[in-house]
Each structure stands twice: as C-alpha cells, then as structure tokens.
C-alpha cells in the first residue's frame, strides 16, 4: 500500500491528465460524428423497409400491424401483459369508463426468476399464465373473457396483430423452444394447460409501440415511441406505401425498428471504444445488439467499471489499487451513474458508492469517477439523440413539411434517471424538427391495452 501511494506521488500530473484524456475522449462525439451516425441509421432504415434488402438489414423495421393511434373514443375493459425484462406486469385497464377520455388501471408486478429466464419456453409461459390467473382471482374477474394487449419486448417478426414470431432473445433471456415460435400461441397454450380461465382477442405489441400508444392517448402528435432502459428500441408511424413487406399503400403503419441491432454489421465500429468491445466479448450475444450495448442500462454500468479498472491500473485512480469487489462483473451498476451525477453539489454519493465497493476514495478519485460516469451517460444520450433525429427527419420528409412538430413517448429508467435529459434532443442535429418528450406514466402495458381498444373501436366502427 505504501509503495502504491509512493508511485502516485511520483506520477507527473500532466501524464495523469493525458491518460484520463486518452481514456475518455473516445466517448466525446462531435456534431459531425453524430450526423454521420444518423445518416448511417437512415440508410439502415431504408434497407429494413425494402423487400429486397430486408433480410440483410441489421435494423429490421418490422411492421406491427398497428394502423392507428388512439382518438379518445375508445371504451371498455382490457387486460394487459407487459414482458420486457426481469419483471413483468399484469394490468386491468378501464378505458373511457366515465365518458371523459380517461384510462384507469390496476396492476401487479411479478418477478421472473433467473432459472426461468434461462429455462424452457414452456416454463416461462406457464409462469406468466399462473401470474395472470392469480391477478384475475384477486379481482374476481376470472369468469370474464376480456381482450388482452400483450407487450412482448423482444425482436419479433409480426405476422399479424395477434401473431408474432420471436427472432431472438435479448436482455439476458435464453428460454429454449421459443425462437421461431408464435409467442401469442405459446401464451394461449399455457392458459389452456391451466384450464381455469380464458381470454378474448389478443393484440401483441412491442414496448415501444405500447409507450407510443399510451402517450398518444393524451397527445395526438405522439408518433414516435422510445424505450431506453435495460435495453433500447424505437417505433414510429411510417407511410404504408414505404413498407414493402406489407400490402397496401394508403394510410400509416407503426414500424418497430429494433434499432438495438444498429451497428451489428460494423457501421458503428469507429465509434466503439475498447471498453465497448470488451463488454460485447463478455456478453451472451456477442456481436449482436451493438447500438444497445453502447447506450442502454444493461451495459452502461459495466462500461464504467471497465474504465475505472483501466484507470486504476494506469495508476490514475485509487492509488493503483483495484479491490476484489470492483473486479466482479456488473458490480458497478448503471443506477450508480445517475446517482453520482445527480449529486451535483457534493461528492458524497460517489464516496458512498465507492466505499461500498471496498475502496477508500479520495476527493480526486470521486471527482474523476464522476467524470467517467458523465462521459458514458452523455454519449448514451447523444447517440440516442442522433438516432431520434434520423427518425424525426424521415417523418418530416414523408410529410413534406418545412418544420415538423412531433412528440416522442418515452419510457425506461435510463431516461427517467438521466441527469442531462436535454441531450436526448440535439436541436443542432434537427433544426427543422420541434421535438417534445412525454414520459409514459404507466409504462407500455397500458399502451398494449390501448392497442386492443383501438382495434376493437375500429372494428365496431367499420
């Protein structure tokens, strides 16, 4: 320990500053860099929409078969399931029950144990059906056959509103026997195995679609849905005539972009740091979801941890010492980033978190750790802004307007906890787009129920 301290005292401050700069500068993206990113995404979006290039596109631009956003006339009781991470929600959603365009909901959160996340598909859907049954029991509505909105937040090929085939698992799920299968059918089979309740029609949507619909009920200008939490994705309303995978030319179609896979073909490699590459190498889906691994909550904390270890080994941090706790994968959590950055007036939060990891940090250590957190979180928001700019610019061009006023419905803990929310809309990238962000108050589950409500409403009116 004394030897380690001695080395720090002999370290040239200029050398230390240079080491920090070399480590963090790759996370600072210029306006030119971000414009390059958005132009590359636009090309990938075009590839995903066209029949000839769809199969080779990394950004799949999947049709959702959601043709309309809410107009406020929807009414009825609906169930919703929201599966997108280590927890899922069951909801009872009452739409326009009082005739005042309101949505009331009751919900319960159910945990998904690790062994089920990595078990069989039958075990997963049995667990979902069991939790749904308990929810219905608790409200004495097991005898009702209610329509259900199913938010299934993984890359799927949607064949119709009630048929969606899983392309691949993400976010730590590895359930066998599900890839290539219709998840609605797997849910129905699990319910049938129980045999003690039934459901009505099912509308399956991605969490981005649910978020857009949830916010769209309040704001008709909401035509983009964004999730940036454990993972990341976006959807938006595209002109049907541009969606070559679906017949028809009139009206709109909501597109589930699956933009987390942007960069899987190497187009983002020049912006990936050695830390990004190490996170990818250690992941269960190496070479996949490259954009997601640069900006989402599942990976940001791990990027910071690897940077801190690197700086400690360079004798810039922690007197050159790397405690055992920090050497453990995922020991520095993404929530620590926002907690440290939010503590703008002191270093107390940084000191508390680092101490919990077995360190004895100095004020200089805490200050540098905050700089590392800021570099990683700012890059996340900047890259997200570039991607959103690509989407909003496309919508503006589709509509052939000089200035687009649009709302982004957004959900996810990375956005909710981010200390620099203004970075998510970079006006210098999109001077012709007036973008407003609306937080989804009740998550994407409510939106899934609203999809079911919109479908029922349109069927009744047609």
Residue with tokens 């990375």: 414
Domain ranges of the chain: 76-217+443-453
Position 4 pLDDT exceeds 50: no
Say what the pLDDT of residue 288 is.
94
pTM across the whole model: 0.85
Q: Which is catalytic among the residues 47, 60, 171, 417?
A: 171
State whether the Cα torsion 318-324-330-335 is positive or negative. negative
- Our answer to whether residue 207 is catalytic in this structure is yes
**β-strand partners of 90:** 81, 108
Both tokens of 341, joined, read 């950055």
State whether the Cα torsion 362-368-373-374 is positive or negative. positive
- Our answer to whether residue 160 is catalytic in this structure is no
Residue among 338, 344, 322, 424 at smallest CA distance from 380: 424
H or E, element range at 277: helix 274-281
Contact residues for 194 (Cβ-Cβ < 8 A; gap 6+): 129, 130, 133
Between CA 166 and CA 170 the distance in angstroms is: 11
Contact 286, 292 (CB under 8 A): no
Q: Output the CA–CA distances (angstroms, integers) from residue 145 to 32, 120, 278, 334, in the order listed.
A: 54, 28, 49, 41
Contact residues for 378 (Cβ-Cβ < 8 A; gap 6+): 27, 28, 420, 423
Say what the pLDDT of residue 341 is.
93
H or E, element range at 407: strand 404-411
φ and ψ at residue 350, rounded to 5 degrees: -60, -45
Say what the pLDDT of residue 127 is.
96
Between CA 259 and CA 248 the distance in angstroms is: 25
State whether the Cα torsion 429-53-236-210 is positive or negative. negative
Between CA 226 and CA 410 the distance in angstroms is: 5
Average pLDDT over residues 269-288: 95
φ and ψ at residue 223, rounded to 5 degrees: -130, 10
Residue among 302, 316, 305, 315 at smallest CA distance from 364: 316
Say what the pLDDT of residue 5 is.
36
Position 264 pLDDT exceeds 60: yes
Say what the pLDDT of residue 325 is.
87
Average pLDDT over residues 145-156: 89
Q: Could you say which architecture CATH assigns to the domain 76-217+443-453?
A: 2-Layer Sandwich (3.30)
Per-residue pLDDT tens over the stretch 53-98: 999 999 999 999 999 888 778 888 999 998 877 788 999 998 875 5
Lowest mean pLDDT of 151-165, 289-303, 437-451, name the range.
437-451
Radius of gyration, CA atoms only, the chain: 23
Position 200 pLDDT exceeds 60: yes
Position 159 pLDDT exceeds 60: yes
Average pLDDT over residues 370-385: 96
Between CA 168 and CA 286 the distance in angstroms is: 13
- Looking from the CA of 404 toward its CB, the CA atoms found within 13 Å total 26
Q: Which is catalytic among the residues 182, 207, 276, 411?
A: 207
Say what the pLDDT of residue 459 is.
63
Average pLDDT over residues 300-318: 95
């Amino acid at each position: 320990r004394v030897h380690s301290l001695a080395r720090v005292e002999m370290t040239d401050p200029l050398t230390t500053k240079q080491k920090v700069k070399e480590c963090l500068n790759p996370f600072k993206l210029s306006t030119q860099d971000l414009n390059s990113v958005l132009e590359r995404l636009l090309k990938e979006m075009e590839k995903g929409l066209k029949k000839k290039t769809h199969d080779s596109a990394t950004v799949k631009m999947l049709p959702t078969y959601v043709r309309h956003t809410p107009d406020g006339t929807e009414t009825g009781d609906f169930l919703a399931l929201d599966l997108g991470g280590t927890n899922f929600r069951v909801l009872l959603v009452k739409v326009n029950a009082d005739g005042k365009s309101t949505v009331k909901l009751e919900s319960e959160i159910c945990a998904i144990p690790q062994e089920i996340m990595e078990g069989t598909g039958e075990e997963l859907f049995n667990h979902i059906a069991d939790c749904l049954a308990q929810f219905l029991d608790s409200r004495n509505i097991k005898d009702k056959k209610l329509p259900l909105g199913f938010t299934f937040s993984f890359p799927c090929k949607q064949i119709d509103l009630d048929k969606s085939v899983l392309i691949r698992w993400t976010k730590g799920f590895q359930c066998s026997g599900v890839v290539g299968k219709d998840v609605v059918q797997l849910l129905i089979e699990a319910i049938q195995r129980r045999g003690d309740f039934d459901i009505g029609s099912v509308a399956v949507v991605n969490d981005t679609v649910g978020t857009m619909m949830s916010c769209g009920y309040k704001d008709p200008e909401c035509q983009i849905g964004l999730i940036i939490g454990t993972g990341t994705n976006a959807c938006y309303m595209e002109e049907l005539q541009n969606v070559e995978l679906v017949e028809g030319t009139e009206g709109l179609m909501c597109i589930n972009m699956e933009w987390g896979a942007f960069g899987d073909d190497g187009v983002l490699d020049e912006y990936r740091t050695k830390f990004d590459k190490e996170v990818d190498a250690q992941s269960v889906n190496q070479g996949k979801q490259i954009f997601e691994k640069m900006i989402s909550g599942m990976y940001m904390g791990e990027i910071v941890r690897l940077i801190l270890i690197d700086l400690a080994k360079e004798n810039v941090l922690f007197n050159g010492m790397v405690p055992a706790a920090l050497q453990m994968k995922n020991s520095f959590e993404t929530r620590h980033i926002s907690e440290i950055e939010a503590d703008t007036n002191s270093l107390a939060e940084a000191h508390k978190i680092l101490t919990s990891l077995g360190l004895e940090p100095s004020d200089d250590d805490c200050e540098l750790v905050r700089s590392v957190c800021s570099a990683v979180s700012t890059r996340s928001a900047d890259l997200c802004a570039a991607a959103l700019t690509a989407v909003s610019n496309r919508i503006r061009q589709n509509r052939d307007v000089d200035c687009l006023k649009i709302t982004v419905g957004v959900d996810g803990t990375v956005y909710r906890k981010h200390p620099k929310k203004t970075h998510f809309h970079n006006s210098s990238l999109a001077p012709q787009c007036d973008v407003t962000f609306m937080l989804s108050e009740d998550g994407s589950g409510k939106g899934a129920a609203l999809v079911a409500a919109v479908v029922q409403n349109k069927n009744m009116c047609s």
